Homo-oligomer: A and B are copies of this chain.
Amino acid sequence: MPHFILDERLERDSVSIQTLTLSDLRLAKDSRWPWLILVPQRVNVSEIFDLSPEDQMELAREQARIGAALKAMTGATKINVAAIGNMVRQLHVHVVARFEGDANWPGPIWGFGQAVPYEPQAFEALKAELQKAVL
């Protein structure tokens, strides 16, 4: 039976911060916005509707829980949630904290500019804060 292997671009551009029931919860290496990515640990799944009905419900629960925690923690103006996958076909859901006046407000984050790396200490601090917030 094939086992879950993370797409190499997701592997390169984000770091795992927690393993949830269904998904690997990852933090993107882009300091322009607090940007989480949920990757359901399932094989050969590209669309949300490729998941089993049970996994679809679990993904919806994880996404809502993570979004609410991210908003409470950051005080974001709006949480943006999206499953796009035109470039990386392995199913992944973006959960992003947006703020008035951020790097592309009110436009979308996808396809906009280049990632701005975190300072290593700032990244570790945010990772720890997020791990606490999503418990």
Query: Interface-forming stretch among A24-32, A78-86, A125-133?
Result: A78-86
Interface size on A, residues (CB 8 A): 34
Tell me how many chains of this kind the complex includes: 2
Chain B residues within an 8 Å CB radius of A82: 80-84, 108
Which residues of the other chain, B, contact A98 by a CB distance below 8 angstroms? 86
Which residues of B sit under 8 angstroms from A46, Cβ to Cβ?
Answer: 78
User: Which of the segments A4-12, A13-21, A34-42, A60-68 contacts the partner chain?
Assistant: A60-68
Q: Could you tell me the distance between the alpha carbons of A16 and B68 in the complex, rounded to whole angstroms? A: 29
User: Is the beta-carbon distance between B47 and A67 smaller than 8 angstroms?
Assistant: yes
Please measure, in the bound complex, the distance between the C-alpha atom of A39 and the C-alpha atom of B80, giving whole angstroms: 16
Which residues of chain A from 69 to 119 have a CB within 8 Å of any chain B CB? 71, 77-87, 89, 98, 105-108, 110-111
* C-alpha spacing A85/B47, complex, angstroms: 22
With A47-B67, A68-B49, A82-B81 known as contacts, the answer to whether A108 contacts B110 (CB < 8 A) is yes
A residues neighboring B (CB under 8 Å): 46-49, 56-57, 59-61, 63-65, 67-68, 71, 77-87, 89, 98, 105-108, 110-111
